[in-house]
A and B are shown apart, each in its own frame.
Chain A
């Protein structure tokens, strides 16, 4: 198998997180356009400078990225719409970087944005995919909670994980969120006692294992390092990135994503080891999936994430492995496809020193992981990228 070429020469700049709210009167295009406006302002460029646009959204229909060029009165020479849920951010980054490397675009805005109204989550999960519609939703109509409850239960039985182990993730992320302005649940603390006392939703999942659907937007710009430097923008580079789709379909229950298929080569191409990673952003739609990422991305062996969590602090200032440093989805809410950009945008913020109260000191390398498209019984897309800061 061939190996992805280097992403050299590419800069990621201008992390933007915007407008998280439990529900919104606005449309998805409002969130996407507002992020675009903030990206342009923060880069000190004009709308005409943005000649590529990559967008992910579950609630944009009947519009698409093509129609957005007319909404925003802009002319581009490169467009991409990425329907990859929680893997959308890393995938948008990969495609945007290639577009800039090959001269198909100079500045690509990568944006995830979704709105949320009462009932919209039910509408999304009741008509999510043909497999889910026919073989999953009819059986109790619990949406992704049921699929992840089954995975979590199997993981606990197989590896002896306890509720406290999953609670480590939820509690440490809430602490991080309390140091990040705009985190929807950042105003409320969460102790292990609170976590354990929460009501059951879908056994073994309880309230704080489940993300809260919400509205919001996330975005960043991809451009050449020369351009970033000429604009005077602090930037992040991509040391390595990869993705897999429907990996290990023969596993009866998804106890690993696609990450083990490329993890070792990813570190080799990046020239770093897990011990060099200063912060990790996993896709935390459910805590068990963050555990699969810790294992699949080489921080511990398969089945050993519970032991890893017992030994390593995950808070931004705990001296262990800072993880989901802005609180992740569990504490910010899941803003549809924007949730697939959250970890990447937070990494760019951290590695450019733009974080405020939750800044990880001397953060140089970040691992960002994506996981998306829960179809029937498992998530199909797995992606990861190793980023390096220090560019300015």
Chain B
């Protein structure tokens, strides 16, 4: 099983690196603010909403952890707090949809981002899917 160093804190609410100097939110994780280069990044709660830019359905994976669950959906999300993020995607969400980002842990404990639909039916369907793929939401 592969351990991925995603750098994300295991948190019940979405936390990304925000700059204490210029307030910009940075993602992917880095050591210095990509906007003002200040050494002032801190993991802070940020607005977890965004819009689906694009979706792909993977028919194969280089990691065995995914091969049992193919096809696997991945989305590119424009976050309302600034950055763009690649995320896992629950069933039922399509391009252009508004989504909320959750931090989840997979069966190996890897901490990653998941885009959830805002629609009630999509949320209900996601509960079963999360169990199936062994994704766990992180409790407070």
**Residues on A facing B (Cβ under 8 Å):** 122, 125-126, 130-131, 133-143, 145-147, 149-151, 153-154, 157, 199-205, 252-253, 376-377
Q: Flag if A140 contacts B61 (CB, 8 Å).
A: yes
Task: Please name all residues of chain B whose beta carbon is closer than 8 Å to the beta carbon of A203 when the two chains form the complex.
Answer: 56-57, 59, 71
A-B pairs, 9 with minimum CB distance: A135-B28, A138-B4, A149-B56, A141-B63, A150-B54, A154-B54, A203-B57, A131-B28, A141-B62
Bound complex: CA of A135 vs CA of B77, how far in Å? 12
Question: Which of B2, B58, B72 gathers most chain A CB within 10 Å?
Answer: B58
Task: Please name all residues of chain B whose beta carbon is closer than 8 Å to the beta carbon of A377 when the two chains form the complex.
Answer: 76, 84, 86
Asked if B124 lies at the interface with its beta carbon under 8 angstroms from chain A, I say: no
Task: Please name all residues of chain B whose beta carbon is closer than 8 Å to the beta carbon of A143 when the two chains form the complex.
Answer: 62
Q: Flag if A134 contacts B54 (CB, 8 Å).
A: no
Task: Please name all residues of chain A whose beta carbon is closer than 8 Å to the beta carbon of B49 when the two chains form the complex.
Answer: none
Question: Which of B4, B54, B66 gathers most chain A CB within 10 Å?
Answer: B54
Task: Please name all residues of chain B whose beta carbon is closer than 8 Å to the beta carbon of A147 when the two chains form the complex.
Answer: 86
Indicate which residue in B29, B59, B78, B95 contacts A134 across the interface (CB closer than 8 Å): B29
Q: Flag if B74 contacts A140 (CB, 8 Å).
A: yes
**Residues on B facing A (Cβ under 8 Å):** 2, 4-7, 27-30, 53-63, 65-66, 71-72, 74-76, 78, 84-88, 95, 110, 112-113
Task: Please name all residues of chain A whose beta carbon is closer than 8 Å to the beta carbon of B27 when the two chains form the complex.
Answer: 135
With A135-B6, A135-B86, A252-B53 in contact, is A199–B59 under 8 Å at CB? Answer: yes
Task: Please name all residues of chain B whose beta carbon is closer than 8 Å to the beta carbon of A130 when the two chains form the complex.
Answer: 28, 30
Task: Please name all residues of chain A whose beta carbon is closer than 8 Å to the beta carbon of B85 when the two chains form the complex.
Answer: 135
Task: Please name all residues of chain B whose beta carbon is closer than 8 Å to the beta carbon of A253 when the two chains form the complex.
Answer: 53-54, 76, 84
Known: A134-B29, A147-B86, A157-B54. 4 other contacts (CB 8 A): A135-B86, A157-B95, A202-B56, A252-B78
Q: Flag if B56 contacts A146 (CB, 8 Å).
A: yes
For A131, give the chain B residue with the smallest CB separation: B28
With A125-B62, A202-B57 in contact, is A140–B29 under 8 Å at CB? Answer: no
Bound complex: CA of A315 vs CA of B37, how far in Å? 48
Task: Please name all residues of chain A whose beta carbon is closer than 8 Å to the beta carbon of B62 when the two chains form the complex.
Answer: 122, 125-126, 141-143
Bound complex: CA of A151 vs CA of B72, how far in Å? 17
For A376, give the chain B residue with the smallest CB separation: B28
Indicate which residue in B6, B63, B84, B113 contacts A252 across the interface (CB closer than 8 Å): B84
Indicate which residue in A122, A131, A140, A201 contacts B72 across the interface (CB closer than 8 Å): A140
Q: Flag if A376 contacts B57 (CB, 8 Å).
A: no
Q: Flag if B58 contacts A137 (CB, 8 Å).
A: no
Q: How far is the CB of B67 from chain A (nearest CB, A)?
A: 9
For B85, give the chain A residue with the smallest CB separation: A135
Q: Flag if B53 contacts A142 (CB, 8 Å).
A: no
Bound complex: CA of A28 vs CA of B113, how far in Å? 37
Indicate which residue in A131, A202, A376 contacts B59 across the interface (CB closer than 8 Å): A202
Q: How far is the CB of A163 from chain B (nearest CB, A)?
A: 14
For A200, give the chain B residue with the smallest CB separation: B59
Q: How far is the CB of B92 from chain A (nearest CB, A)?
A: 16
